[in-house]
């Protein structure tokens, strides 16, 4: 039995080492970014590089936060991502309800179109999207960016939600109908509440995708006070120099809120995803 | 199949059924309109462009038939960029599925702090690609980047060299970054799937003297097959069309070694202003992705009622 | 009959409005800015200058003027690396800004897209003789009209560490062999002799072009304006070979993907390079991140192959305006005219981290008086002299405004070919062929 105990002991140590490796792997880029953002200008370029700032400095945060555009970037990202999240949840759950609880001609076609839309490379949408936005006078507005983000997130959201709605037992709708509920009431009062974890986790994913999106946001908006955080940061790489300090502080400020937010809602996300979203 | 069953039921419920499904269809109206305007129109527009020599500089546009497609396949650099796309997609997806599965096995072990570890491992999923890309450029700088410094000290890298300036390693860096960013999703899905596997079968097998490896190989893995197929399709499509990360880390360089099709489409549109040619490339990419989806639909029950 | 009547009426209307215009202008000129007439109008202005110091000066001047004129301005930053993406999406849908502050390449693009208007009138109003001639040539289209108001310009020189030169007892190199020898001599493990930055976005093309110019190899024939890079294969291959040998013998390996910020930091902040090609912004980097270095920097001209330098690479910024008519045109015209006071022109040039020279002659004195510039009197005199006396070209615009220039700036073929040549993927000749095939295809479609 002694042999088994040593084996167990060794495997435990291995697992602990593995965990440490994981923690380092995940943490390193983020921690490095955060530490660099506290280094004053001269320390950013020391050779060899030092891990910890020698003189902690808030100059980059000061510079970033006194720039009114940075506040705009932040609020814009928040507004756009929240709106995208809500629209995704509403349209996504409606579509999923329609596609899984009813049978009508064209149902498969709609589903196929949603899946096909997921295949469209975002880069392919760039120019046509810009034209459409100009046509309907939404160019440069938040609505334009929101629509752009919806084209990227909606197909995926519908896909996810379809798998959630499929899991609901089919009998419950009929029971509600027997009780005199109409289709809308069945949706709102019976099916949707049962899918809450799924709908929430889809919403969270949509929020994250929108918060992180760069390509379409960068084409659709030019005005300083309309830009999102991702676009704003990328613009700090200019032709004369790269403001690493400011970029690191902005990067930290972009990353931390989503990490914190995600930590808060993660319970629902994990619950939703493990309700068996993607099982095939 | 589904239709015939329904029609039987229809006889019983009569006209109600028809009205019922019409209302059901109405719930799909928003997505249909959205797809028509913001997806179908751009795609049709792209198909049209791919048969023209439209220029983004002069605004001229003439119908040229399949010229663009012919040009694509006769361009020797295209082969290289297409191969880059395959390398990038294959290793990114393989890497994130393997890492995801490995970490799912780790966090599915009952242990203290398991939930905390799981939460921690999910963090990369929310880190914006822009932030990750910029940090990478910073730590890989040949002069003052900390990772370059470590590698140089360890003798793995020449002095004042950066991984991002070497053709092979640059591709590995972007692939690893992509894996770093993407593994949490497969991890979570695998974790859920592992929880769903009947523990009794495993315990029975263990009692019969099956080794851990054998249990994994003959019980766990087959159970994960479907999950793996779905994940693979999802991630292949997402990875092959993903642009932001490579654009911001290497911009497709050095010497085109990390240029994949989305980068090539961008460069052809806004670098050479040949939007017709670029559209043809994006049609090819889109069509390949569509094949993946067909494969997925055939394999899964998503379209069944 | 009715039609004819309408025609006559509209003609008459045109006639009167045309007569009104000059009067309006006169008044405006006399009273500085007679704001009344433009009340409520608005202008959209784009600038490529995203660095805070430069953007703030521009934004300040624009807002000041807008207040004086009673109009609204909306200033939008368009980063350099996404300039062509923005310009082409805007041009494709006819949403070009009213005014843009951009480099020569951006101007060439907008000119080719027929999105900007001739500026001869506006330039005459400011005073055409107040602009130096070389800037005017580069902005003149094939139709003989000038399409941009030059704002400031830069000149490529070799910026070097005086102290390292002294330590190694090196004289200013006079030809290519001497230059390579000097770079090699200063090349130690820690400090490299010369940086050959080759980032795919514009930087690779700029590095190559300074060497091409000094050897007398051009993209477009300065005399005829025809594409000529295909006719100079032997010379061009030699230039590429020289660039490759500089990279391999004296440049840090990582410089293969260096962009402006990287090599400027190497010379002026970390002190890990003894020489680089630059347009002078290194000084700004030193002043900001490593003030001790500022006094150690100097500049000289990149030499010609056998000593005689043919030309050098110059660059600059200008104002362009989208096609406008009637009252809007007057508004744009007055707005731009008001930007050209000696103070404002000097302030804009000075907002660039050093060595952007105003192209508006009346602002020269103010520019030189600035204390930051006065510290570098020798260098400034030297570069001013180069500007006035020697040839300088901007790639693709050797014979005036040409869309080739925009193409050279935006294509990534230079990165592909030159990075590949330096790391051994391509021979110099293959690299030349890649570049030439790409440019020739574009030239054929011009």
Query: What DSSP line would sit under A39-61, residue for residue?
Result: S-GGGGG-SS--SS-SS---HHH
Q: Does the beta carbon of A105 lie under 8 angstroms from any beta carbon of chain C? A: no
In a domain, C417, yes or no: yes
- Residue C88 with chain B: CB contacts under 8 Å: 56-57, 269-270, 273
* Percent helix, strand and coil across chain C, each to the nearest 5: 55, 15, 30
CA distances for B35 relative to A30, A116, A151, A223, C263, angstroms: 37, 10, 8, 28, 47
CB nearest C253 (choices: B57, B161, B259): B161
- Residue A233 with chain B: CB contacts under 8 Å: 130-131, 134
Does one domain contain both C81 and C180?
Answer: no
Nearby residues of B147 by Cβ (< 8 Å), 6 or more positions away? B139, B140, B163
Does one domain contain both A270 and A161?
Answer: yes
- Residue A244 with chain B: CB contacts under 8 Å: 138
Mean pLDDT of B98-104: 93
Does one domain contain both A30 and A157?
Answer: no
**Do the Cβ atoms of B243 and A123 come within 8 Å?**
yes
Q: How many CB atoms lie within 10 A of CB C54?
A: 23
Does one domain contain both C186 and C291?
Answer: yes
**Do the Cβ atoms of A151 and B32 come within 8 Å?**
no
**Do the Cβ atoms of C289 and A42 come within 8 Å?**
yes
In a domain, B1, yes or no: no
> Which partners does chain C have (≥3 C-beta pairs < 8 Å)?
A, B
Does one domain contain both C436 and C297?
Answer: yes
ipTM of the assembly?
Answer: 0.87
Q: Which of B188, B125, B119 is CA-nearest to residue A208?
A: B125
Full residue range of the structural domain in which residue C288 is found: 155-313+386-391+400-445
Please list the residues that pair with C77 across neighbouring strands. C47
In a domain, B53, yes or no: no
**Torsion (CA) B265, B266, B272, B274 in degrees, nearest 10:** 50
Does one domain contain both A28 and A70?
Answer: no
In a domain, A253, yes or no: yes
Q: Which residues 7-26 on chain A approach chain B with CB closer than 8 angstroms?
A: 15, 18-19, 22-23, 25-26
CB nearest A218 (choices: C74, C82, C289): C82
In a domain, A50, yes or no: no
Q: Distance between CA atoms of C97 and C343, rounded to whole angstroms?
A: 26
In a domain, A120, yes or no: yes
Side-chain-side CA neighbours of residue A177 (13 Å): 12
Residue with the larger pLDDT of the pair C443 and C53? C443
Q: State how many domains chain C has.
A: 2
**Torsion (CA) C97, C98, C104, C109 in degrees, nearest 10:** 50
Q: Are A214 and A231 in contact (CB under 8 A)?
A: yes
Q: Does the beta carbon of B57 lie under 8 angstroms from any beta carbon of chain C? A: yes
**Do the Cβ atoms of A234 and C261 come within 8 Å?**
no
Give yes or no for residue C27 having a pLDDT over 80: no
Does one domain contain both C242 and C175?
Answer: yes
Q: Exposure pattern of C195-214 as b/e (b: 16+ CB <10 Å)?
A: bbbbbbbbbbbbbbbbbbbb
Does one domain contain both C411 and C263?
Answer: yes
C389 burial (CB, 10 Å; 0-12 / 13-18 / 19+) is exposed
In a domain, B61, yes or no: no
Give yes or no for residue C6 having a pLDDT over 50: no
The CATH number of residue C196's host domain is 3.40.190.10
Tokens of C424: 């051994």
**Torsion (CA) C403, C408, C412, C414 in degrees, nearest 10:** 160
**Do the Cβ atoms of A240 and C264 come within 8 Å?**
yes
**Do the Cβ atoms of A111 and B303 come within 8 Å?**
yes
Does one domain contain both C308 and C319?
Answer: no
CA distances for A210 relative to A151, B183, C187, angstroms: 11, 19, 48
The CATH number of residue B84's host domain is 1.10.3720.10
The CATH number of residue A244's host domain is 1.10.3720.10
Q: State how many domains chain B has.
A: 1
Full residue range of the structural domain in which residue A115 is found: 61-274
- Residue C419 with chain B: CB contacts under 8 Å: 253-256
Q: Distance between CA atoms of B9 and B22, rounded to whole angstroms?
A: 16
Does one domain contain both C418 and C298?
Answer: yes
B179 burial (CB, 10 Å; 0-12 / 13-18 / 19+) is buried
Q: How confident is the model at residue C15 (pLDDT cuts 50, 70, 90)?
A: very low
What is residue C303's DSSP assignment?
A: P
Phi, psi of A181 (to 5 degrees): -80, 145
Does one domain contain both A91 and A9?
Answer: no
Per-residue pLDDT of chain A (280 residues; tens, 9 = 90+): 567 788 888 888 888 888 898 889 889 999 999 998 998 877 887 778 888 888 888 888 888 888 888 888 999 999 999 999 999 999 999 999 999 888 888 888 998 899 889 888 888 888 788 878 878 888 778 998 999 999 999 999 998 888 888 888 878 888 888 888 888 888 888 888 888 888 988 998 899 999 999 988 988 887 888 889 898 888 777 655 667 888 889 889 888 888 888 888 888 888 777 765 454 3
Does one domain contain both C161 and C140?
Answer: no
**Do the Cβ atoms of B265 and A121 come within 8 Å?**
yes
* A268–chain C nearest CA distance, Å: 39
- Residue A118 with chain B: CB contacts under 8 Å: 237, 293
Phi, psi of B104 (to 5 degrees): -65, -40
Q: Does the beta carbon of A246 lie under 8 angstroms from any beta carbon of chain B? A: no
Full residue range of the structural domain in which residue B228 is found: 74-299
Instruction: State the sign of the Cα–Cα–Cα–Cα dihedral C252, C258, C259, C265.
Output: negative
Q: Are B282 and A123 in contact (CB under 8 A)?
A: yes
The nearest alpha carbon in chain A to B142 belongs to A47
């Amino acid at each position: 039995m002694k042999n088994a105990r040593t084996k167990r002991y060794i495997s435990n140590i291995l697992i602990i080492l593995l965990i440490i490796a994981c923690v380092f792997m995940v943490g390193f880029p983020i921690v490095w970014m955060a530490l660099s953002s506290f280094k004053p200008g001269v320390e950013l370029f020391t050779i060899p590089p030092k891990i910890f700032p020698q003189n902690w400095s808030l100059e980059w945060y000061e510079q970033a936060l006194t720039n009114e555009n940075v506040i705009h970037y932040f609020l814009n990202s928040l507004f756009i991502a929240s709106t995208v999240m809500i629209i995704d949840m509403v349209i996504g759950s409606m579509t999923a309800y329609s596609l899984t609880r009813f049978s009508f001609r064209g149902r498969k076609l709609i589903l196929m179109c949603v899946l096909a839309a997921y295949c469209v490379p975002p880069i392919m949408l760039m120019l046509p999207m810009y034209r459409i936005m100009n046509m309907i006078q939404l160019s440069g507005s938040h609505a334009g960016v929101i629509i752009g983000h919806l084209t990227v997130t909606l197909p995926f959201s519908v896909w996810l939600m379809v798998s959630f709605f499929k899991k609901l037992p089919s009998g419950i709708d009929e029971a509600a109908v027997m009780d005199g509920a109409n289709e809308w009431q069945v949706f709102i009062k019976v099916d949707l509440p049962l899918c809450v974890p799924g709908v929430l986790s889809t919403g969270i994913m949509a929020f994250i995708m929108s918060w992180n999106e760069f390509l379409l946001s960068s084409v659709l908006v030019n005005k300083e006070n309309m830009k999102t955080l991702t676009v704003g940061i990328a613009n700090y790489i200019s032709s004369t120099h790269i403001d690493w300090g400011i970029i690191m502080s902005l990067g930290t400020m972009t990353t931390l809120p989503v990490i914190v937010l995600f930590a808060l809602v993660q319970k629902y996300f994990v619950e939703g995803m493990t309700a068996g979203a993607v099982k095939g | 199949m589904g239709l015939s069953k329904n029609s039987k039921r229809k006889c019983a419920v009569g006209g109600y059924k028809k009205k019922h499904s019409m209302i059901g269809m109405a719930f799909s109206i928003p997505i249909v309109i959205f797809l028509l305007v913001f997806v179908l129109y751009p795609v049709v527009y792209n198909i049209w462009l791919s048969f023209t020599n439209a220029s983004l500089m002069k605004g001229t546009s003439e119908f040229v038939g399949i010229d663009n497609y012919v040009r694509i396949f006769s361009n020797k650099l295209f082969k290289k960029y297409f191969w880059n796309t395959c390398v990038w997609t294959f290793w990114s997806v393989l890497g994130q599925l393997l890492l995801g599965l490995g970490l799912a096995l780790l966090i599915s072990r009952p242990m203290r702090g398991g939930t905390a570890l799981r939460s921690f491992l999910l963090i990369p999923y929310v880190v914006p690609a822009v932030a990750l890309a910029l940090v990478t450029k910073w730590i890989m700088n040949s002069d003052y980047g900390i990772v370059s410094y470590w590698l140089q000290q360890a003798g793995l890298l020449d002095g004042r060299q950066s991984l991002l300036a070497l053709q092979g390693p640059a591709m590995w860096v972007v692939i690893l970054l992509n894996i770093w960013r993407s593994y949490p999703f497969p991890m979570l899905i695998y974790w859920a799937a592992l929880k769903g596997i009947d523990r009794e079968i495993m315990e029975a097998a263990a009692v019969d003297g099956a080794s851990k490896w054998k249990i994994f190989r003959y019980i766990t893995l087959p159970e994960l097959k479907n999950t793996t197929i779905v994940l693979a399709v999802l991630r292949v499509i997402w990875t092959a069309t993903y642009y932001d990360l490579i654009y911001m880390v290497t911009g497709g360089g050095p010497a085109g070694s990390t240029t994949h099709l989305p980068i090539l489409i961008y460069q052809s549109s806004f670098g050479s202003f040949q939007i017709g040619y670029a559209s043809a490339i994006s049609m090819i990419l889109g069509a390949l992705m569509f094949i993946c989806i067909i494969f997925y639909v055939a394999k899964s029950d998503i379209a069944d009622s | 009959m009715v039609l004819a009547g309408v025609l006559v009426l509209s003609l008459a209307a045109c006639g009167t409005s045309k007569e009104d215009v000059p009067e309006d202008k006169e008044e405006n000129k006399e009273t500085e800015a007679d704001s009344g007439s433009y009340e409520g109008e608005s202008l959209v202005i784009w600038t490529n200058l995203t660095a805070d110091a430069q953007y703030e000066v521009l934004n300040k001047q624009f807002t000041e003027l807008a207040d004086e004129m009673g109009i609204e301005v909306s200033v939008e930053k368009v980063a350099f690396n996404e300039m062509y993406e923005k310009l082409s999406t805007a041009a494709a849908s006819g949403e070009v800004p009213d005014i843009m502050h951009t480099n020569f390449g951006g101007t060439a693009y907008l000119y080719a897209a027929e999105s900007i208007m001739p500026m001869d009138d506006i330039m005459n109003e400011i005073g055409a003789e107040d602009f130096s001639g070389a800037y005017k040539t580069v902005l003149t289209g094939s139709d003989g009209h000038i399409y941009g108001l030059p704002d400031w310009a830069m000149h490529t020189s070799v910026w070097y560490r005086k102290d390292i030169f002294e330590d190694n007892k090196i004289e200013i190199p006079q030809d290519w062999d001497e230059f390579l020898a000097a770079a090699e001599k200063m090349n130690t493990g820690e400090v490299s002799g010369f940086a050959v930055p080759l980032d795919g976005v514009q930087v690779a093309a700029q590095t190559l072009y300074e060497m091409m110019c000094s050897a007398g190899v051009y993209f477009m024939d300065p005399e005829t304006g025809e594409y000529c890079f295909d006719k100079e294969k032997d010379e061009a291959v030699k230039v590429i070979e020289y660039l490759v040998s500089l990279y391999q013998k004296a440049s840090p390996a990582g410089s293969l993907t260096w962009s402006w910020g990287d090599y400027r930091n190497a010379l002026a902040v970390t002190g890990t390079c003894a020489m680089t090609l630059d347009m002078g912004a290194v000084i700004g980097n030193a002043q900001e991140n490593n003030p001790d270095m500022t006094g150690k920097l100097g500049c000289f001209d990149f030499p010609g192959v056998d000593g005689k330098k043919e030309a050098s690479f110059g660059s600059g910024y200008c104002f362009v305006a989208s096609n406008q008519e009637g009252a809007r045109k007057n508004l744009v015209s007055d707005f731009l005219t008001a930007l050209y006071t000696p103070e404002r022109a000097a302030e804009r040039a000075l907002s660039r981290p050093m060595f952007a020279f105003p192209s508006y002659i009346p602002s020269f004195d103010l520019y030189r008086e600035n204390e930051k510039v006065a510290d570098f009197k020798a260098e400034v005199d030297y570069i001013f002299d180069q500007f006035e006396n020697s040839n300088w070209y901007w790639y693709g615009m050797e014979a005036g405004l040409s869309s080739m220039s925009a193409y050279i700036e935006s294509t990534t073929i230079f990165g592909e070919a030159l990075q590949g040549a330096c790391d051994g993927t391509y021979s110099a000749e293959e690299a030349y062929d890649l570049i030439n095939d790409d440019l020739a295809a574009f030239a054929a479609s011009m």
